[in-house]
């Protein structure tokens, strides 16, 4: 791997590896960009290289795609294709001649994928995102003498199973190594980058991803917006590469909602251009189609294009009819991706805090009110959930998020 410079915190972990002081479970937790994943991959590779070639090893992530992005490609860059090859499609790889299996741990059913196997070691990326049953089963598969698990994670709620049943479990002290990484420990990062990153996280995300605290989400979700709504008003509009419309279908007392948004060519700025709420009660599909048609026609007149309409994928019959109605305008209608709501919230708050989100206030009154009214559900224990009991406008938030969620990776990367 050549000469690699480590931070003091990373050196501490590597020193334990060299001294054969790693334990059965080795957890690297703390801030984002603190160097956890990078050093964990180096340690994983070095450790596997010392282990028997006839053992089976495993690397796991929330999904195979996130595992590839977060770990497999970076690991290959670190040690070269000669030492690490992989195929996500076959879920297999070779690391210093040792066979590595890959698995996703995206839901409770994932646990069944790893039953019956015997592992010589395992690596877990973003462990708090795993179902508990999967992790328990994975530990039971580490049946080879000297088998170890190396895992990384950012903090979550203080009642998360990883915190209560493992980190805080004194009975596991002999079996578990827990190392905390803070963003300020990563002396390889420019100071300006760290300061910008600290600005981009707010509220519960700042507490977790910057401070590394296990805290409960409560109160206003978009507090950074609510504290100064006028700061997000768009004075002038730039050129947009993409103009998309998000559509959330109402029902059970909610309303239909539309939101048009624009993304600049450099994928750095997101603008909300217009929102509209439509009463769902007694609204026929034909009447709804007319309202959506008029909304799209207005956006075309103002901005000259619409890249796509992203509609709530749960309503395929309505989407099919909408495609026919909008075809004369040359507009394609696609299914919303429906990323996890908290991923959408996190992206929105990062863009807000980083000064990369603006809106046309006069045209987005419903979105302004939705941001101001959105709060965390304090009745849910063990995870975050946006309150959806009719007291706030979740419909407009969904429509807004549908309009840009496909571009979240690019927006966050920039």
How does pLDDT run across 101-126, given as a tens digit for each residue?
A: 999 998 778 888 899 999 999 999 99
Give residue-wise pLDDT tens across range 302-325.
999 999 999 999 899 999 999 999
Phi first, then psi: give them for residue 67, nearest 5 degrees.
Answer: -65, -45
Helix (H, G, I), strand (E, B) or coil at 302: helix
Predicted confidence band of residue 414 (pLDDT cuts 50, 70, 90): low
What is the fold, at CATH topology level, of the domain defined by 8-208? Rossmann fold (3.40.50)
Residue 358's pLDDT band (boundaries 50, 70, 90)?
A: very high
User: pLDDT above 70 covers what percent of the chain?
Assistant: 99
Q: Is the pLDDT of residue 163 over 70?
A: yes
pLDDT band, very low/low/confident/very high, at 390 (cuts 50, 70, 90): confident
Sequence-distant (6+) residues with CB within 8 A of 31 are: 154, 181, 182, 183, 209, 210, 211, 212
Give alpha helix (H) positions in 214-340. Answer: 223-226, 285-303, 316-326
Whether the per-residue pLDDT at 159 is higher than 90: the answer is no
pLDDT, one tens digit per residue, over 231-282 is: 999 989 999 999 999 999 987 678 999 999 999 999 999 999 999 999 888 8
Place of tokens 């975050």: 384
d(CA 148, CA 107): 23
pLDDT, position 110? 83
Q: Give the C-alpha separation, 141 to 118, whole Å.
A: 5
Q: What is the pLDDT of residue 231?
A: 95
**Are the C-beta atoms of residues 280 and 255 closer than 8 Å to each other?**
yes
Q: Can you tell me the mean pLDDT for 351-367?
A: 95
203 pLDDT more than 90: no
pLDDT tens per residue, range 18-52? 999 999 999 999 999 999 999 999 999 999 999 99
Instruction: Give the per-residue pLDDT at 202.
Output: 85
- CATH 3.40.50.300 region(s) of the chain? 8-208
pLDDT score, position 347:
95
* pLDDT at site 71: 97
User: What's the whole-number mean pLDDT along residues 84-108?
Assistant: 95
β-strand partners of 92: 87, 101
DSSP state of 240: -
Q: Which helix (H) or strand (E) holds 26?
A: strand 25-30
Q: For 223-413, give the CATH class.
A: alpha beta
Average pLDDT, the chain: 93
Q: What is the pLDDT of residue 219?
A: 86
C-alpha 293/C-alpha 296 separation (Å) is: 5
pTM above 0.85, yes or no: no
pLDDT digits (tens, 9 = 90+) for 181-190: 999 999 999 9
pLDDT score of 413: 78
Structure-token match 């990078």, residue found: 38
pLDDT of residue 215: 87
- Start-end of CATH 3.30.420.280 domains in the chain: 223-413
Residue 65 binned pLDDT confidence (cut-offs 50, 70, 90):
very high
Residue 297 scores a pLDDT above 70:
yes
Residues of the chain by 3-state class (helix, strand, coil), percent to 5: 45, 20, 35
The pLDDT of residue 1 is above 70 = no
Would you state the pLDDT for residue 281? 84
Alpha carbons 166 and 187: distance in angstroms, whole number: 29
pLDDT given at position 3: 60
Tokens 């401070």, residue located = 211
């Amino acid at each position: 791997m050549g000469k690699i410079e480590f931070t003091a915190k990373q050196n501490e972990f590597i020193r334990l590896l060299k001294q054969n002081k790693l334990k059965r479970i080795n957890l690297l937790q703390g801030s984002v960009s603190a160097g956890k994943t990078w050093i964990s991959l180096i340690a994983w590779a070095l450790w596997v290289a010392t282990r028997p070639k006839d053992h089976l090893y495993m690397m796991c992530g929330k999904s195979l795609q996130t595992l590839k992005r977060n770990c497999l490609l970076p690991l290959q860059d670190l040690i070269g294709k000669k030492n690490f090859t992989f195929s996500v499609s076959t879920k297999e790889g070779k690391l210093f001649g040792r066979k590595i299996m890959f698995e996703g741990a995206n839901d409770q059913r994932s646990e069944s994928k790893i039953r019956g196997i015997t592992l010589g070691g395992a690596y877990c990326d973003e462990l708090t995102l795993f179902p508990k049953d999967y992790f328990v089963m994975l530990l039971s598969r580490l049946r080879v003498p000297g088998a170890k698990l190396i895992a990384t994670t950012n903090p979550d709620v203080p009642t998360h199973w990883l915190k209560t049943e493992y980190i805080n479990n004194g009975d596991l002290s002999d079996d578990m190594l827990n190392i905390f990484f803070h963003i300020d420990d990563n002396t390889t990062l420019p100071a300006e980058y760290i300061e910008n990153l600290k600005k981009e996280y707010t509220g519960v995300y700042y507490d977790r991803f910057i401070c590394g605290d296990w805290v409960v989400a409560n109160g206003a979700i978009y507090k950074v917006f609510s504290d100064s709504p006028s700061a997000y008003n768009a004075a002038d509009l730039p050129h947009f590469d993409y103009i998309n419309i998000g559509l959330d279908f109402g029902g059970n007392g909610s309303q239909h909602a539309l939101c048009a948004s624009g993304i600049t060519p450099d994928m750095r700025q997101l603008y909300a251009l217009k929102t509209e709420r439509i009463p769902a009660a007694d609204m026929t599909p034909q009447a709804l189609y007319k309202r959506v048609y008029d909304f799209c026609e207005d956006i075309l007149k103002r901005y000259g294009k619409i890249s796509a309409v992203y509609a709530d994928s749960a309503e395929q019959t309505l989407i099919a009819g909408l495609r026919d109605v909008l075809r004369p305008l040359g507009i394609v209608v696609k299914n919303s991706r429906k990323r996890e709501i908290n991923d959408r919230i996190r992206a929105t708050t990062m863009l807000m805090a980083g000064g990369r989100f603006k809106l046309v206030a006069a045209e987005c009154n419903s979105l302004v009110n939705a941001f101001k009214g959105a709060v965390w559900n304090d009745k849910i224990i063990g995870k975050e959930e946006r309150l959806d009991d009719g007291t706030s406008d979740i419909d407009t938030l969904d429509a807004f998020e549908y309009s840009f969620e496909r571009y979240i990776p690019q927006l966050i990367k920039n």
